[in-house]
Chain A
Amino acid sequence: MTISLADLTTQETPTWCPGCGDHTILASLKNALAELVIDPKDVVIVSGIGCGSKIPHYVKTYGFEGLHGRGLPVAMGIKLANPTLTVIAISGDGDTYGIGGNHFMHTMRRNLDIVHIVQDNQVYGLTKGQYSPTSKKGFKSPSSPHGALETPVNPLALALTMGASYVARGYALNVSQLKELFVDALNHKGYAFVDVLQPCVNYNRANTPQWYQENTQVLQGNDPANWDEAMKLARRTDKLPLGLFFKEDRPTYDGEVSVYEKGVPATRDISNIDLSMMLKHYV
């Protein structure tokens, strides 16, 4: 079996602005899926709501565009009901770190075997430019005209503390590295988190391609098995490192769900369930 990019392309035309990082994130994801030759019928891309969350419509796999902030729970339900599927959750920084923050925290400690990509443009795109949980302090926006007062969320440090078993950061315009990270994340058994920095040409005038050029750096020579080193890298605020920070093999949540011994829950035969085993406790 081979899978071409055309196989993964839908009739829909992306609605993103020219120059938006979502275009290259989409391309990198399709490239990674084609390279790994995962049958599209066994892939589900789950998103929330935001500009970036429209991505399921542009990849010819199964897709679920849920509610704002709630992609991860849907992804969990799909994966637990049918662990044979490749499940990719993807959504924006507002969606993931703001409204969906609770799900983010718990999905990480669960080590569910899914890939989680965050389109981190440090701004709310779809609602027209309000500051987001990753906007830097002082970021001026319609909802913070005098500058944001909060310290931004550090997604990588958060992921490391919450027990994510795969932690990486990519940059939307570094497409070759991004594809590699996606391939690696898809190969990882466990929760694989990739925070993708991206420009928002319309609403983020602070984090421009030029700014990323000056303030990011591809990681080299680090040891992804070393959590302390990963944490140190995650806490850097100058020259944000891009690449794999941390990776660890440990049991996944779905791997420990014992009921799979009897087959995939979503597709098992339910036509005639015998209740006697349950009811004997009530006589």
Chain B
Amino acid sequence: MIPRANAVATIPTTSPAHGSITGGKRINNLSWKIAGAAGDGILNAGRMFAKLCMRDGLYVFASAEYPSLIRGGHNHLDIRVSDKPLASHTKWVDLLVALNQEAVDKHASKIIPGGGIIYDGDTLKVSVESLKRSDIALFPLPLLKTASACGGPIMRNVVAMGATIGLLGVALSSFIAILTETFEKKGDAVVQKNIKAAQAGYDLVKGKPFPVSLKKQPGPQRLFMSGNEAMTAGAIKAGLTFFAAYPMTPASSILHTVAANEKDYNIVVKHTEDEITAINAAIGASYAGARSMTATSGGGFALMVEGLGLAAQTETPLVVANVMRPGPGSGMATHSGQGDLQYVLHASTDEFPRVVVAPGDAAENYTLGFEAFNLADQYQLPVILLSDKYLAESYCSVDPLPHQLSVHRGKMVTTAQQNYKRYALTKDAVSPRARPGIPGCMFVASSYEHDEEGNECEEPAVRVAMHQKRFRKIEQLAKTLPQPKLIGPADAPITFVSWGSPKGPILEAMKLLKSDGVATNFLQLMYLSPFPTETVSRILKKAKQLVLVESNMTSQLGSLIREQCLITIKEKILRYDGRPFDPEDIVAAIKEMIV
């Protein structure tokens, strides 16, 4: 696909929906990529750049691709900056910082006409001939030599950053502020060296023209957060008091984030010996009255399945995050996919109800990360937050998080009771829940089928009553859940149907399609269990052309819709190579469909 020309002026752009044209320059619409080997400091440099832009009132979106190893390999970080909200990365690049030859070879073709490439002219051979492109600007800069002169070759990334902001017309002082903050802990000498390297990089491009520039704009104080961090913030806001997990990419940063906050928020954090321990300990803590959670990826989730049934059978509230990566087996640890939908919907022995909810962006990770605890408590069942690597590890500028959220703990017994029955068959099927320490309510939470008191019981009638009780709760719950809504014009000829992280690329694709005169709308499904069958059926029946977008091969949401709504979606855009959708690929697929 060829990058389109901007409608206003003929400056090529990654997306005409972002930025503006002033004085022959494209303002506040940038796609910047830094690429090199693991250990080159790509993430650090990128994070500083993104934060700097965010503080200038701009929207940012940062996503990284990296292999599952510690040194070497090929890493790249993509940062997009705009004057308007950004939902995803873009396939194309305005300015590439290439820290090795592989970075040039892999990414030069993605630079749009008029864009540029910053690289080390002393070590890399890059030319118009070798690139077979004369439409991009080359910036061969002595990155290594300059970094060494400023105090160490390790600061190559900082020199490149200095050059980046120089080309983009950003004030060096904002960069210096971030550098100071970042390296403060390492002492003044380190800070000074980095400032020197930044200044040197900045000076290297002085007077060199570049068609994109960034300008401050007013805005609220936003947060530069990853999906995992936002989900953790939601959980902490909900009163998370116990968190147990075993590290597994891409869920680990939830563990790290909770641990970093354990003292400030009085949370017991346990890195356990395995995922079986994690879920059972979380259940124990919840039984004791704590709001508790565990987080893992597919392999760890497999080890938790028996525990999930324990939470269901004992009606113990529990929040489990499954941050998906491609499988099966160890699969691709550092990549993304949505292959676990049917798995988390069905993972169990026998049948029991659960809530499965899939946030689609960082802000939803926060609100649903919060809400998950209310649902778990109010309905006393497991709630699964289903996310994936692209959502979990991409960073973006998040608008100020809503803080007027209310905690609902459901039917918690706080004082002594007469004739207490933990599993009393009530009208709404939810029974008052006591915790150890409450007088007069001693009961056994048993993983065996039990009667109202909690005593083991295998009588057919009791079994039926209890099995139905567990399911009745979710019927109640289904009535209270927010219903999915169409995003975009109701009468659009094309309706995207998706869940989870493809939301971002779909929203950006919709903007691209709109500027090409193609109207689309989008049905994002968040609550996947219980499934909002009626609403979805009604919306899908009204829609003109349905297009399913999912990161798996067998269109698992498509199967769920067919099962629940008896509607088959024939047009599908599926991707399962471990990478997120590029908005441009969605656009291309739609164009192919409509010709």
> Residues of A at under 8 Å CB distance from B?
11-12, 40-44, 46, 49, 54, 56-57, 60-67, 70, 73-78, 80-82, 84-85, 102-103, 105-106, 257-259, 262-263, 265-268, 270-275, 277-279, 282-283
Cβ A278 vs Cβ B265 within 8 A: yes
The verdict on B288 contacting chain A, using a C-beta distance below 8 Å, is: yes
Question: Whole-angstrom distance from the CB of A243 to the nearest CB of chain B?
Answer: 30
Which positions 433-457 of chain B face chain A at CB distance < 8 Å?
A: 435-448, 455-456
B448: A residues at CB distance < 8 A: 65
B241 touches A265 (CB 8 A): yes
Asked if B284 is at the interface of the complex by the 8 Å CB criterion, the answer is: yes
CB-CB < 8 A to B233: which residues of A?
275, 278-279
Please list 18 pairs of residues, one from A and one from B, whose beta carbons are closer than 8 Å in the complex, sorted by A's number: A12-B455, A64-B446, A65-B447, A70-B277, A70-B310, A77-B242, A78-B285, A81-B241, A81-B242, A81-B285, A82-B437, A106-B273, A106-B277, A265-B241, A266-B242, A266-B290, A267-B289, A279-B223
Chain B residues, Cβ within 8 Å of A102: 273-274, 276-277
Does A275 contact B237, Cβ atoms closer than 8 Å?
yes
A residues near B276, Cβ cutoff 8 Å = 70, 73, 102-103
The answer to whether residues A66 and B310 also contact, given A76-B284, A283-B223 and a CB cut-off of 8 A, is: yes
User: Once the chains bind, are A73 and B280 in contact (CB under 8 Å)?
Assistant: yes
User: Is B92's beta carbon under 8 Å from chain A?
Assistant: no
Q: With a CB–CB cut-off of 8 A, which chain A residues contact B283? A: 66, 74, 77
A267 to B285 Cα, complex, angstroms: 11
A81 touches B442 (CB 8 A): no
> A282, B270: Cβ atoms under 8 Å?
no
Asked if B221 is an interface residue, CB under 8 A from chain A, the answer is yes
B287 partner, pick from A49, A57, A64, beta carbons under 8 A: A64
Interface segment out of the listed B72-80, B256-264, B550-558: B256-264
User: Chain A contacts of B282 at CB under 8 A?
Assistant: 77
Chain B residue numbers with a CB within 8 Å of A277 are 261, 264-265
Across-interface contacts of B229 in A (CB, < 8 A)? 282
Collect the chain B residues with CB atoms within 8 Å of residue A273's CB.
236-239, 265
Which A-B residue pairs are the 8 nearest by beta carbons? A270-B239, A77-B284, A73-B280, A63-B444, A77-B281, A81-B285, A74-B284, A77-B285
> Complex: how many Å from CA A272 to CA B236?
10
Number of residue pairs A-B, CB distance < 8 angstroms = 200
A78:B268 contact, CB within 8 angstroms: no
- Tell yes or no: B306 within 8 A of A by CB: yes
Chain B's interface size range is 35 or more
Contact of A78 among B239, B261, B284, B398 (CB under 8 A): B284
Known contacts: A77-B242, A77-B281. The answer to whether A40 contacts B442 by CB under 8 A is yes
Rounded to whole angstroms, the CA-CA distance of A273 and B310 in the bound complex is: 29
Whether A282 and B224, one on each chain, are in contact in the complex, defined by CB atoms closer than 8 angstroms, is yes
Which of A85, A263, A265 makes the CB contact (< 8 A) with B436? A85
Expressed in whole angstroms, the Cα–Cα distance for A65 and B444 within the complex equals 7
User: What residues of B have a CB within 8 angstroms of the CB of A76 in the complex?
Assistant: 270, 277, 281, 284
Bound CA span A12–B292, Å: 31
Q: Which residues of chain B come closer than 8 Å to A70, judged between CB atoms?
A: 276-277, 280, 306-307, 310
User: Which A residues touch B224, using CB under 8 A?
Assistant: 282-283
Report the Cα distance A106→B310, complex, angstroms: 22
Q: Is the CB of A78 within 8 A of B447?
A: no
Sample of 17 further A-B pairs with CB below 8 A, known A57-B446, A82-B288: A12-B455, A41-B438, A41-B442, A63-B442, A65-B448, A70-B276, A70-B310, A74-B284, A77-B281, A78-B288, A81-B290, A85-B437, A103-B273, A263-B266, A265-B267, A266-B435, A270-B291
A271 to B447 Cα, complex, angstroms = 30
Q: B189 in the interface, Cβ–Cβ < 8 Å? A: no
Q: Is B323 an interface residue (CB 8 A)?
A: no
Determine the chain B residues whose CB is within 8 A of the CB of A77 once the complex forms.
242, 244, 280-288, 292
Determine whether B401 belongs to the interface, using a CB cutoff of 8 Å to chain A. Answer: yes
In the assembled complex, the CB of A185 is this many whole angstroms from the nearest CB of chain B, namely 19
Interface pair A62/B443, CB less than 8 Å apart: yes
B223 with A103: CB separation less than 8 A: no
Q: CA separation between A41 and B441, bound complex, in Å?
A: 8
Give CA–CA (A74, B278) in the complex, Å.
9
Query: Which residues of B have CB within 8 Å of A66?
Result: 280, 283, 310, 447
How long is the Cα–Cα vector from A278 to B236 in the complex, in angstroms? Answer: 9
Of A105, A265, A267, A279, the contact of B401 (CB 8 Å cutoff): A279
Which chain A residues border B487 with CB–CB below 8 Å?
none
Smallest Cβ-Cβ distance to A40: which chain B residue: B442
Interchain CA distance A44-B283 in the complex, whole Å = 14
Most interface-central of A73, A78, A268 (chain B CB within 10 A): A73
